[in-house]
Amino acid sequence: VDTQVAVDASFVEALTSLGLTPGVVGTATFTDGTFAFPITGGNVDYYGPDSDVRPYVQGEIDHDGSGISLTAADGTVVELTDFRIDPGESKLYGTVTANGAVAAEDAYLFNLWGGTLKPIQMEGSNAVLEGTTVHISPDAASLLNQTFKTDAVQDEMLVGVAKITAATE
């Protein structure tokens, strides 16, 4: 269905301090402080924290055709799109575009910390995994700092909390 990220206030404050305006790309939405990215493919197996299997969430979740943009006051625009979540690695990858030119493909953008992940819940025929925190990766922090000529984007900066809703049928 989709992956949602409820944006943390500290992330909004950081963007504001950098003079960056966030936006959405493609089929993404931003409503009431939450980004939503439609899931376009992939497959995930869930074994549960009580099982002996580690990592207990494995597979891939694709979000082609959506993402976020960051626009600076000088008109510089960075887009992070086509997200691919690897829950086994606890990482999110994507394409980085700066002013319309591809800067990196399948770049390591966000670190996902599942220590706060709630047990899987069912909503009809959809499985819901909620509670993973999303953090800026060291690669993305470096790239954003270079692009926006700053050192304010810190590795592991909290972005928000994720909620993944996946169809089981």
The radius of gyration computed from the CA coordinates of the chain, to the nearest angstrom, equals 16
- How many Cβ atoms from other residues are within 10 Å of residue 164's Cβ? 25
Q: What are phi and psi of 123, to 5 degrees?
A: -125, 95
In the chain, what is the straight-line distance between the N-terminal and C-terminal CA atoms, in Å?
11
Lowest mean pLDDT among 10-19, 35-44, 59-68: 10-19
- How many Cβ atoms from other residues are within 10 Å of residue 135's Cβ? 22
Of the two residues 24 and 88, the one the predictor is more confident about is: 24
Write down the pLDDT at residue 108.
97
Residue span of the structural domain in which 96 resides: 2-167
**Tokens (6 digits) for 108:** 């390591």
By C-alpha distance, which of 17, 11, 35, 26 is closest to 97? 26
Write down the pLDDT at residue 50.
86
How would residue 114 be classed by pLDDT, with cut points 50, 70 and 90?
Answer: confident
Total count of domains within the chain: 1
The structure's pTM equals 0.92
Residue 54 gets which letter from DSSP? S
- How confident is the model over 132-140, as a mean pLDDT? 95
Alpha-carbon distance of 22 to 12, in angstroms, equals 9
